[in-house]
Amino acid sequence: MENLPEVLISEIVRRLTKTSDRNSFSLVTKHFCAVEADLRNSIRVGCGLDPAAEALASLCRRFPNLTKVEITYSGWMSTFGKQLDNQALSILSTNCQSLTDLTLSFCSFISDSGLRCLTSCQKLTSLKLNFAPAISSSGLLSVVVGCKNLSTLHLIHCMKVTSVEWLEYIGKMGSLEDLCIVKCRGISEDSLVKLGPGWKRLRRLEFRKDPHNMNPKTHNPFSGESWHLRQISCESLKEVSLVNCVIEPERGLSFLLSSCASLEKLTLDTCTGLRDSDFITLSQNSHGLRSISLRLFSQSSSHQATLTDASFRALSTNCPMLEEVELAFCDSEFPAASSITIEGILAVINSCSVRVLVLKSACFFNDAAMAALSSAPFLECLEIERCQEVTDFGIGFVSKFPCLANLTICRCLGVTDDGLKLLVESKMLDSLVVKDCPRISDQGVQGAARQVAYSQDLSWLF
């Protein structure tokens, strides 16, 4: 092994993907240790560092070519020793000149002064902050001004980030491609207007509001005119995920559904104000849409459902590349009425190449719907959750699906061991997952697929 060419040793190290394997490799000889250290480009550290700063400095010296660093203190307690603080970012900026990707999770002792150290990391392209309670807009502005190549920015539970000068600056720079803002109370949909020309290059957007901030009294009302005057272009957006947002005419982020010509993946979770006209416009502009996930309020809710089968018929007509469809309803433990029927789903299934279908708390999905769906020509994966109208008779139609290989049944009261007997006989499924179904036993799933996963937690019933 000592006589192997340097190029071959390097290739061996690159093919070792597990950290434990690479650590073992480095223990063989000093030469192997040196090669592995030079090629190591990422580390993940946190609770195990003690003393924290000295250990991090030692790691940075050992691995001089680090490009990706993750510091996470999930589950940390004071008994684990001190957390890395602002000194840690000073160490990284001094020793890791090639740093491109930094993630800070649950780092309670890193503040704005530490974040400012990153301004010397000119190659930094990705910054992800997950629960960074001491970091504010000031520190964030320093980073986006100093790191001009920043293309990915994730802010999750950053409660002190309020003003959006940083968003306006990075929008003018035009480098941002991936923006994720999750439950940052100081940032609303209205704040995103500050991105300005930056919208043109943005490829991925995830915006998730705190559900406790849904009340319009808790934030400034939206000014539709400000969005209109900016003439926002979203021609590069391929993936959009909105949770707990307002989507109404001339309000919130409603413009996205009519402006994303390149959209491939759309997730709308409990967003108020959705209408059929939004989806008709979306389908007419986004012909390349491949995946759509909707979680809607049912008609029993104070937020009346406004989507009907017309939305799905529009998708079936204009989005032939649609492959994944998820439809879920919320509000209660058991499904309530909706304006969407199986006819709308079948329109998409029969016109598009849908391979994956997920239905949750869909009251319209019953045995007859299973029978109608069994002719789906391309469907490979089906997941039903809390679809209480599906019984053993409906599950029997699974054996008639031409391409179905993966089935998930979750929290369904109408399905029993008897319903799975036909699956045992047909031996058509590659995988079967059964979760929290009180009338299905561990013995009942055996032999129903080549791979079976079974779990039961009935606390949801109580």
Is the four-CA dihedral 241, 242, 247, 250 of positive or negative sign?
negative
**In which element (H, E) is residue 103 found?**
strand 101-105
Residue numbers in the chain where pLDDT is lower than 50: 214-225, 227-229, 333-336
Look at residue 110 in the predicted model and tell me its pLDDT.
95
pLDDT of residue 426: 86
Helices within 63-111 (DSSP H only): 86-95
Classify 199 as helix, strand or coil. Answer: helix
The dihedral formed by the CA atoms of 276, 279, 285 and 288, expressed in degrees to the nearest 10: -150
CATH number of 1-40: 1.20.1280
According to the model, what pLDDT value does residue 126 have? 97
* Rounded CA separation 355/403 (Å): 9
Helix (H, G, I), strand (E, B) or coil at 86: helix
DSSP 279-339: HHHHHHH-TT--EEEEEEE-TTSSS-----HHHHHHHHHH-TT--EEEEEEESSSS----S
- Tokens representing 314 are 């529009």
Q: Distance between CA atoms of 182 and 131, rounded to whole angstroms?
A: 10
- With beta carbons less than 8 A apart as the criterion, state whether 346 and 371 touch: no
What contacts 235, CB < 8 A, 6 or more positions away? 200, 259, 260, 261, 262
Residue-range domain boundaries for the chain:
1-40
pTM of model > 0.85: yes
Q: What is the pLDDT of residue 286?
A: 92
Whether omega before 402 lies within 30 degrees of 0, making that bond cis, reads no
Q: Tokens in use for 400? A: 């008639």
Phi, psi of 128 (to 5 degrees): -125, 120
